[in-house]
Amino acid sequence: EDKVVQSPLSLVVHEGDTVTLNCSYEVTNFRSLLWYKQEKKAPTFLFMLTSSGIEKKSGRLSSILDKKELFSILNITATQTGDSAIYLCAVSFYDKVIFGPGTSLSVIP
Amino acid sequence: DGGITQSPKYLFRKEGQNVTLSCEQNLNHDAMYWYRQDPGQGLRLIYYSQIVNDFQKGDIAEGYSVSREKKESFPLTVTSAQKNPTAFYLCASSISGAGSIYEQYFGPGTRLTVT
């Protein structure tokens, strides 16, 4: 069965900490893996990964994909309260997209 | 401004009534999607459409119906057959269909409460 698993499901950290969010998947005909941030309502796009080993970076956020081991990580360094959100991992394959359950991140001052 | 709009933001209905959620995009995207989000379950795909006048069932299509008569519009009807309709509904679009490498753009969502 095609599936996307994220861990941890919930995380509480202090401002300034570094966090690593995990996403593993089992799908056929993999096309891409995408990370989204959902603060209140609409998820917003962060990264799309299609090739193994190539890190994508945007400010304090970075992500990498391992297509051999079927997982991706999303790193956030020097966390801020504005990073508090649900982080969703999605995998695009064949003719559909599957989302993981999300990781709820809370950053406390 | 380009984007996706959903209306209404909040919707309350009594059990047994059908209700239609609106989704419009002006991004000139071919593909559109409807998701349902429940706490702790991420997004689950209800229906998607890769081209006008064509759509496919997602993982949880039972009790829902859609139409795609115009490229810009993809309304979702929640019928009385849907056993547990109370949820947060998100509409999304992408340049081309699922299975491609393009990211999805999401609307602000509609929170439906059925009592």
pLDDT tens per residue, range A60-94: 999 999 989 999 999 999 999 999 999 999 998 86
Where does the pLDDT of residue B12 fall: very low under 50, low under 70, confident under 90, or very high at 90 and above? very high
Residue B45: partners with Cβ closer than 8 Å, 6 or more residues away? A96, A97, A98, B33, B34, B35, B58, B59, B60
Q: What is the pLDDT of residue A70?
A: 94
Q: Determine the pLDDT at residue A40.
A: 80
Chain B residues within 8 A of A94 when measuring between CB atoms:
99
Q: Which chain B residue has the Cα nearest residue A97?
A: B98
Is the four-CA dihedral B38, B43, B45, B50 of positive or negative sign?
A: positive
pLDDT by residue (tens digit) across B15-69?
Answer: 889 999 999 999 999 999 999 999 877 899 999 998 999 999 998 999 999 999 9
How many Cα atoms occupy the beta-carbon half-sphere of B18 within 13 Å?
10
Contact B99 A99 (CB under 8 A): no
pLDDT at B98 over 60: no
